[in-house]
Chain A
């Protein structure tokens, strides 16, 4: 099992992607069917895991790739 601390190295660029596309978190929540609370957790890098279904829905809604949404910071 990988170390738990490594989860904190994943940075979510949801904020930048939303701003660039002029979409609010509430609107994205309606589009992907994920609660605003959970999207906020993801946006603020407090998420420790993400479902493939959530990832796919966000990438579809924002028309981006997984690499554009998530970045792994150097350890």
Chain B
């Protein structure tokens, strides 16, 4: 369907919106940004609504055991051709090493434990996003009310910790859920095959990948986000000090 005119038009419209909205916000900010806090607050409210809605739908889907899309890590499979097949390369590009190390699948019938772990990752990520949106809304409101430092450094530092712990744990729990789903899907206890069929190197080559095992990757973006919030908290502390110093000054 990717090639249909409607799909192309929709993709183009979506891309335009994705590019246009940030550009519009930057233009507004550069023109003095009088309405910027209101726009930021509205966008944050919209993000909260979308996150809540998407989380509820995803949670219901997971708990009901309906088909869900998962991306699971697999033992890398090198691209290969069946014996006797050769292709004329389109360019001079050649593969030296590596392989396909993950599979995106629509699956159903996952065990409850796996679904609960995936649900936990989803809820942690949603709660983290909502916490960040709440502090952004509070910041925007305090700017609109003419008291930009009303949010306070403690709230910003707390949000930094939430972002750090929530972001890292959501990613790690999500990866654990993916690995569990991978084992649930690709592990086998036995099977049958034609007598003559004996693939070297297991079943990965012919199309049945093996789970990659626990190889957790710690994401660094929550640490970056938390550091930015800590920096903003430092700026706010300085601003509060200046505001206090100027109180009662004539």
Q: Mark A20-50, 1 if CB is under 8 A from B, else 0.
A: 0000000000000010001101100011111
Closest partner residue, chain A, to B246 (CB atom): A49
Q: Is B248 in contact with chain A by the CB < 8 A criterion?
A: yes
Nearest-CB distance from B191 to chain A (Å)?
79
Residue numbers in A under 8 Å from B248 (CB-CB): 7, 41, 46-49
Closest to B248 in A: A48
Q: How many residue pairs between the two chains, A and B, have CB atoms under 8 Å in the bound complex?
A: 24
Q: Which residues of A contact B247 (CB under 8 A)?
A: 48
Interface centre among B246, B247, B249, B250 (most CB of A within 10 A): B250
CB contact list, A46-75 vs B, under 8 A:
46-51, 54
Minimum distance in angstroms from B211 CB to a CB of chain A: 63
Q: Which of B205-250 contact A (CB under 8 A)?
A: 245-250
Which residues of chain B have C-beta atoms less than 8 A from A54's C-beta?
250
Measured between C-beta atoms, what is the minimum distance from A66 to chain B in Å? 14
Instruction: Determine how close the nearest CB of chain A comes to the CB of B247; give it in whole angstroms.
Output: 6
Per-residue CB contact flags for chain B residues 47-80 toward chain A (1 = under 8 Å, else 0) read: 0000000000000000000000000000000000
In the assembled complex, the Cα of A33 lies from the Cα of B248 at a distance in Å of: 17
Chain B residues lying within 8 Å of A46, measured Cβ to Cβ, are 248
Tell me the bound Cα distance from A38 to B245 in angstroms: 16
Residues of B within 8 Å of A50, CB to CB, are 249-250
Inter-chain CA distance A50–B246, complex, in Å, is 10
A50 to B249: give the CA distance in the assembly, Å: 5
Q: How far is the CA of A64 from the CA of B245 in the complex (A)?
A: 27
Residues of chain A contacted by B249 (CB below 8 angstroms): 47-51
CB distance from A46 to the nearest CB of B (A): 7
Q: How many Å lie between the Cα of A42 and that of B247 in the bound state?
A: 12
Kindly state the separation between the CA atoms of A46 and B246 in the bound complex, as whole angstroms: 13
**Chain B residues engaging chain A, CB cutoff 8 angstroms:** 245-250
**Residues of A at under 8 Å CB distance from B?**
7, 34, 38-39, 41-42, 46-51, 54
- List, sorted by A's number, 24 A–B pairs whose CB atoms are closer than 8 Å: A7-B248, A34-B250, A38-B250, A39-B250, A41-B248, A41-B250, A42-B250, A46-B248, A47-B248, A47-B249, A47-B250, A48-B247, A48-B248, A48-B249, A49-B245, A49-B246, A49-B248, A49-B249, A49-B250, A50-B249, A50-B250, A51-B249, A51-B250, A54-B250
5 closest A-B pairs by CB: A48-B248, A38-B250, A49-B249, A47-B250, A42-B250
